[in-house]
Amino acid sequence: MKKTGTSDGVSIMSEKERKRAARSVKKTDNNLVWLWHNMEGFRGIYFLAILGTLLYNALQLVVPYFSAQLVDRFLAGSDAAYNLTNHRDQFFLLLELMVGLTIFRVIIVYLDCVAYERVSQGVLYRVRNFLFDKIQRQDMKFYNTFRTGDLMTRVTGDLDAVRHMIAWVVRMVVEACALLLATGTYFFLMNWKLALCLLAVAPVLFVLIYRFKVQVKPMHQLLREKLAGMNTIAQENISGNRVVKAFAREDYEIERFDVGNRDYRDTNIKTAYTWLAYYPYIESLANLLPVIQLLAGGLFLIAGDLTMGEYVAFSGLTWAIANPMRQLGNIMNEFQRFSAASRKVMEIYYAEPDIVDPENPLEHTGRFDGLIEFRDVSFSYEDSNLPVLKHITFTAKPGETVAIMGETGCGKTSLIHLIPRFYEPTEGEVLIDGHNVNEYTLKDLRGGIGLATQDVLLYSDSIDGNIAYGDSHISREEVVKFARYSAADEFIAKMPEGYDTIVGERGVGLSGGQKQRISLARALAVKPSILILDDTTSAVDLETEKEIQHSLRELSFPCTKLIIAQRISTTKTADQILIMQHGEITERGTHEELIKKGGYYAELVKLQTGM
């Protein structure tokens, strides 16, 4: 067994890595330049790999040359028999050269594959880690903007397209260019007129490829969106499987996924067809080369401008021009895929959270005293102009318990989210121990707060691991102690493997109240100076709740408590009760004071106690 989480926030990314990335952050929005930045440390080996590609392609031309020599001089020519008897050593030399070079080529190809794979996997590893690091450090706004399925697509499929660019596309381009250049130069040196005739296809080829590029680019962007859409449907459906089952909506969901899947398939087919529309033209052009060579070459041959040997060399090498032409569509397709994918990756790569550490943070060591102040705080979410909190002012003194009550949607959760700086107030200040929360580093600030959120999320890990999530060093005894505080020890002990019982994703296998109690134990386990409970005991029976209330008063560490609740039984012993309505505090005081006042709270008491 051990606990969820990394080694206490120590990131796998070294400071050097982050600095390297930070340098590239400022530099570019060109995806090739971006890729180049991320290849730091791999460029040397990548350069060697490219040289290797050039070499084995050159060898592709050299080996046939030697075999031709071998055949002409020792096997087929008129002097073959003579040469074979008198120059046997040369025969063997040529043979050895041919075999040697072939083996050498195989080795180069092998090493080249290894090199491309190492570089591409190395860059992939680095960028993937960097992206995950980035995603981890984003604020709430980011998570409200990007859908999980879309983010998953970026760190998996999109990154793979980036890897493919390094390992395959560049290699193919180098290969095609090398072949074209080598053969082209050779042709020009042999007979520039015939070479020019063959080159006549080039302008048509360029126009075709350019048009194809323009047409296929949006297709790849669309394809990428469709894939993300499909992944989002799958992800939401899988994590929301209970709702699907509860409403017996399996068929509907299968249908919905099928629509997304079909859409993706059709877009894929359409993209493939885009190339197929160009394929006949490109293929015809490629096939035109031997015809030009036959016609023009024949004329030059008759006119005496070309020797028979040169003619044979030309015809023997037209493939070296035709093949790269045939590959162009593929290369362009993959390049566009990289283009669409890298844009998506770069969007996250360069994303900066709005809520960050201050430039000169307050020196903070040890615990907070736990003084919380809201000074005339107003707040609204960026994506809507509706004010959620209006002129909130209150103080929670160290060690006090402040209860917040109010009808659903009045802004209670939004209010407590301002304390750990999940969001920033639009007006006013939130202070802890007399300092604005934005003066502390996020780590210091959040490290001092224990939060049990309204919707409980547990990890697929042991119960022990879940409780010790915030501090993986605490002992089993302490885990049990905190479970006792939250009245969870009893039911955990009854489970088949006790604290080692693995709970499923999101706490599958536990009741709502059980999950809430584990979530409370998790919040307590960091021994926070400020404990925030958002409706944490709503699903717990009254008896158990009483027990929890009792333990919360007897905690072994000093702690200011902010408790959001709907039940009078939870709030009545609080030092201060705040009643919120439509984003404002409309009543405040102790249980007795508020009953005397005869407002909303007094009504609640009447309703809930039947008095």
Q: Which residues bind Mg ion (CB under 5 A)?
A: 413, 454
Binding of ligand DGT at residue 220 (CB under 6 A)? no
- Residue from the set 409, 512, 558, 598 that interacts with ligand DGT by CB under 6 A: 409
The residue among 409 and 504 lying less far from ligand DGT, judged by its C-beta, is 409
How many whole angstroms separate alpha carbon 573 and alpha carbon 18? 49
Q: Could you tell me the smallest distance in angstroms from the CB atom of residue 243 to Mg ion? A: 19
Stretch that binds ligand DGT, among 179-187, 227-235, 379-387, 569-577 (CB under 6 A): 379-387
Binding of ligand DGT at residue 319 (CB under 6 A)? no
How many whole angstroms separate alpha carbon 279 and alpha carbon 287? 12
- Residue from the set 7, 78, 384, 385 that interacts with ligand DGT by CB under 6 A: 384
Q: Could you tell me the smallest distance in angstroms from the CB atom of residue 562 to ligand DGT? A: 13
Query: From ligand DGT, Mg ion, none, which one binds at residue 384 (CB under 5 to 8 Å depending on kind)?
Result: ligand DGT
Contact 145/354 with Cβ under 8 angstroms? no
Q: Could you tell me the smallest distance in angstroms from the CB atom of residue 437 to ligand DGT? A: 18
The residue among 411 and 448 lying less far from ligand DGT, judged by its C-beta, is 411
Binding of ligand DGT at residue 421 (CB under 6 A)? no
The residue among 89 and 383 lying less far from ligand DGT, judged by its C-beta, is 383
- Residue from the set 383, 477, 554, 592 that interacts with ligand DGT by CB under 6 A: 383
Of 20, 45, 46, the C-alpha closest to 34 is 20
Number of continuous H segments (helices) and E segments (strands) in the chain: 25, 12
Stretch that binds ligand DGT, among 91-99, 130-138, 208-216, 382-390 (CB under 6 A): 382-390
The residue among 169 and 579 lying less far from ligand DGT, judged by its C-beta, is 579
Of 582, 566, 583, the C-alpha closest to 393 is 583
122-151 residues in contact with ligand DGT (CB under 6 A) are 144
Query: From ligand DGT, Mg ion, none, which one binds at residue 514 (CB under 5 to 8 Å depending on kind)?
Result: none
- Residue from the set 4, 102, 323, 454 that interacts with ligand DGT by CB under 6 A: 454
Neighbours of 244 (CB within 10 A): 16
Q: Could you tell me the smallest distance in angstroms from the CB atom of residue 532 to Mg ion? A: 12
Which residues are paired to 564 by β-bridges?
404, 534
Burial 337-359 (b: 16+ CB within 10 A, else e): bbbbbbebbbebbebeeebeeee
How many whole angstroms separate alpha carbon 339 and alpha carbon 162? 9
Stretch that binds ligand DGT, among 22-30, 36-44, 407-415, 485-493 (CB under 6 A): 407-415
The residue among 200 and 607 lying less far from ligand DGT, judged by its C-beta, is 607
Of 196, 136, 190, 175, the C-alpha closest to 49 is 175
The residue among 8 and 383 lying less far from ligand DGT, judged by its C-beta, is 383
Residue 60: what residue type?
A: Q
The CA–CA distances, whole Å, from 214 to 29, 211, 333, 360, 400 equal 20, 5, 11, 49, 66
Binding of ligand DGT at residue 571 (CB under 6 A)? no
**For the packed helices 319-349 and 201-239, what is the interaxial angle rounded to 10 degrees?**
40
Q: Could you tell me the smallest distance in angstroms from the CB atom of residue 553 to Mg ion? A: 24
The backbone torsions φ and ψ at residue 587, rounded to the nearest 5 degrees and listed phi first, read -140, 150
The CA–CA distances, whole Å, from 602 to 187, 577, 580, 596 equal 97, 12, 14, 8
Query: From Mg ion, ligand DGT, none, which one binds at residue 231 (CB under 5 to 8 Å depending on kind)?
Result: none
Binding of ligand DGT at residue 413 (CB under 6 A)? yes
Residues 6+ apart with CB under 8 A from 182: 57, 58, 61, 320
Q: Two tokens at 398?
A: 């160290």
Binding of ligand DGT at residue 516 (CB under 6 A)? no
Binding of ligand DGT at residue 336 (CB under 6 A)? no
Contact 373/431 with Cβ under 8 angstroms? yes
Binding of ligand DGT at residue 231 (CB under 6 A)? no
Q: Could you tell me the smallest distance in angstroms from the CB atom of residue 427 to ligand DGT? A: 16
Q: Could you tell me the smallest distance in angstroms from the CB atom of residue 588 to ligand DGT? A: 16
Q: Could you tell me the smallest distance in angstroms from the CB atom of residue 505 to Mg ion? A: 23
Stretch that binds ligand DGT, among 35-43, 105-113, 380-388, 548-556 (CB under 6 A): 380-388
Stretch that binds ligand DGT, among 239-247, 281-289, 406-414, 509-517 (CB under 6 A): 406-414
Query: From Mg ion, ligand DGT, none, which one binds at residue 414 (CB under 5 to 8 Å depending on kind)?
Result: ligand DGT
Query: From Mg ion, ligand DGT, none, which one binds at residue 383 (CB under 5 to 8 Å depending on kind)?
Result: ligand DGT
Dihedral sign for Cα 44, 49, 52, 57, please: negative
The residue among 293 and 413 lying less far from Mg ion, judged by its C-beta, is 413
Number of residues counted as binding ligand DGT (CB under 6 A): 14
Q: Two tokens at 19?
A: 């600095």
The backbone torsions φ and ψ at residue 358, rounded to the nearest 5 degrees and listed phi first, read -70, 160
Q: Could you tell me the smallest distance in angstroms from the CB atom of residue 577 to ligand DGT? A: 15
DSSP string, 541-603: -HHHHHHHHHHHHT-SS--EEEEE-S-HHHHTT-SEEEEEETTEEEEEE-HHHHHHHTSHHHH
| Count of positions (residues) in the chain | 611
How many whole angstroms separate alpha carbon 304 and alpha carbon 323? 30
Is residue 532 within a helix (H) or strand (E), and if so which, with residue range? strand 530-534
Contact 486/535 with Cβ under 8 angstroms? no
Binding of ligand DGT at residue 556 (CB under 6 A)? no
Neighbours of 454 (CB within 10 A): 15
Binding of ligand DGT at residue 385 (CB under 6 A)? no
Stretch that binds ligand DGT, among 271-279, 352-360, 411-419, 488-496 (CB under 6 A): 411-419
The residue among 359 and 383 lying less far from ligand DGT, judged by its C-beta, is 383
The residue among 38 and 413 lying less far from Mg ion, judged by its C-beta, is 413
Q: Could you tell me the smallest distance in angstroms from the CB atom of residue 513 to Mg ion? A: 18
The residue among 132 and 381 lying less far from ligand DGT, judged by its C-beta, is 381
What residue ranges bind ligand DGT (CB under 6 A)? 144, 381, 383-384, 388, 406, 408-414, 454
